[in-house]
Amino acid sequence: MRPLRGVLVSGAAFIAVDWGTTNRRAYLIEGGEVVATERDDMGILSVPPGGFPAAVAGLRERHGGLPMLLAGMVGSNRGWHDAGYVLAPASLADLAARLVSPEEGVAIVPGVCRDGDERQDVMRGEEVQLLGAVAAGLAPGDALLCQPGTHAKWALMKDGALADFITAMTGEMFALLKGHALIGSEMTGEVEADADFRKGVEASADRDLLSALFGVRAAAVLGRRAPGAAAAYVSGLLIGSDCRARITLPGQQVHLLADGLLARLYSAAIAIAGGQAVVVDSHASFVAGITRIWDIKA
């Protein structure tokens, strides 16, 4: 690994990349402001063996050869270089102290892990957004944050640091049920935060998820649920179960790093579960977090 000396210069322009499993988003940042962005489907799974240097070089060439700061699955053991994990509680300064540089002018942000005797967990990429939301003032320093997705992240922030977190396979479970389960043939309709979704969230209050899922099949066979309604109902069951497990106080605020459909679904589920959703701009959070890491390391 090359040393980072001279790679980062405070206030100078740089390219920040949120590089995930299936896509990547690049931001050209100058003076703390985004001056250009690009997004493509070149996630880590689309990069051929040994292809990361060329993929990075292409980005840099399009933006004047500027230095790069990468976050996300590019730093995993399935990405370009394993950047390791910082043990929670973790701050942006902790992440900045553990950057790795696979080549000159490029650094990768580590992930964050929880490694207790009773429970272990990891995140990679979400930590920049979660800590960035606090750094940008989009969420308070003591808060419960949620970043929904294939693997939903729930983070407890204390004094501005990522104190603890838990991951739920909510989105992946929905995809598995739809693609491989008995009830998958019923899950043909669209998912929206509609009456069917809300019924699923309400049913999740029984806290008997496995039985409720089979009930989707029974309702279809007995003609008790309209064709096309099952997908939204199952989504409500899963997201409702996820939210009810995290919301412990009436009216508890959940700062939600999401937009579009996921923001609508989780906002509705959080409200039904007794909480209050505050939607946060996840892209602004990432930019704030990655810029702060850049400035700290410089």
Mean pLDDT, rounded, for 86-98: 98
Q: Where in the chain is the domain with CATH 3.30.420.300?
A: 14-167+282-297
What is the predicted pLDDT for the residue at 11?
A: 63
- Residue 119 structure tokens: 């429970």
DSSP 3-state of 171: helix
Asked if pLDDT for residue 2 goes beyond 50, the answer is no
Residue pair 74/108 in contact (Cβ under 8 Å)? The answer is yes
Mean pLDDT, rounded, for 241-267: 97
Answer with the residue of higher pLDDT: 62 or 148: 148
Which tens digit of pLDDT belongs to each residue from 183-204? 999 999 999 999 999 999 999 9
What is the predicted pLDDT for the residue at 6?
A: 34
Which tens digit of pLDDT belongs to each residue from 280-295? 999 999 999 999 999 9
Which tens digit of pLDDT belongs to each residue from 99-127? 999 999 999 999 999 998 899 999 999 99
- Residue 177 structure tokens: 């049920």
Q: In 10 A of CB 8, how many CB atoms?
A: 21
| CA proximity to 134, closest of 288, 254, 293, 247 | 288
Mean pLDDT, rounded, for 154-160: 98
What is the predicted pLDDT for the residue at 111?
A: 98
Provide the edge-to-edge strand list for the sheet that holds 152-158: 161-168, 152-158, 143-147, 253-257, 276-280
Of the CATH numbers 3.20.20.105, 3.30.420.300, 2.40.128.20, 1.20.120.160, which one belongs to the domain with range 14-167+282-297? 3.30.420.300
What is the predicted pLDDT for the residue at 4?
A: 33
Which tens digit of pLDDT belongs to each residue from 19-45? 999 999 999 999 889 999 999 999 999
Residue range 169-280 forms a domain whose CATH class is alpha beta
CA atoms of 43 and 20, how far apart (whole Å): 5
What is the predicted pLDDT for the residue at 197?
A: 99
What is the predicted pLDDT for the residue at 72?
A: 97
Mean pLDDT, rounded, for 131-153: 97
Is the pTM for the entire model greater than 0.85?
yes
Q: Is 35 left (phi over 0), alpha (psi -120 to 50) or beta?
A: alpha
Q: Where in the chain is the domain with CATH 3.30.420.310?
A: 169-280
What is the predicted pLDDT for the residue at 3?
A: 30
The per-residue pLDDT of the chain, averaged, comes to 94
What is the predicted pLDDT for the residue at 29?
A: 96
Binned at pLDDT 50, 70 and 90, residue 12 comes out as: confident
Mean pLDDT, rounded, for 10-15: 80
Binned at pLDDT 50, 70 and 90, residue 153 comes out as: very high
What is the predicted pLDDT for the residue at 208?
A: 95
By DSSP bridging, strand 276-280 and strand 85-87 are: unpaired
- Residue 163 structure tokens: 């104190």
What is the predicted pLDDT for the residue at 227?
A: 86
Residue pair 54/46 in contact (Cβ under 8 Å)? The answer is no
The distance of Cα 51 from the centroid of its chain, to the nearest Å, equals 25
By DSSP bridging, strand 143-147 and strand 106-108 are: unpaired
Sign of torsion over alpha carbons 156, 234, 172, 280: negative
CA atoms of 151 and 271, how far apart (whole Å): 21
CA atoms of 30 and 119, how far apart (whole Å): 40
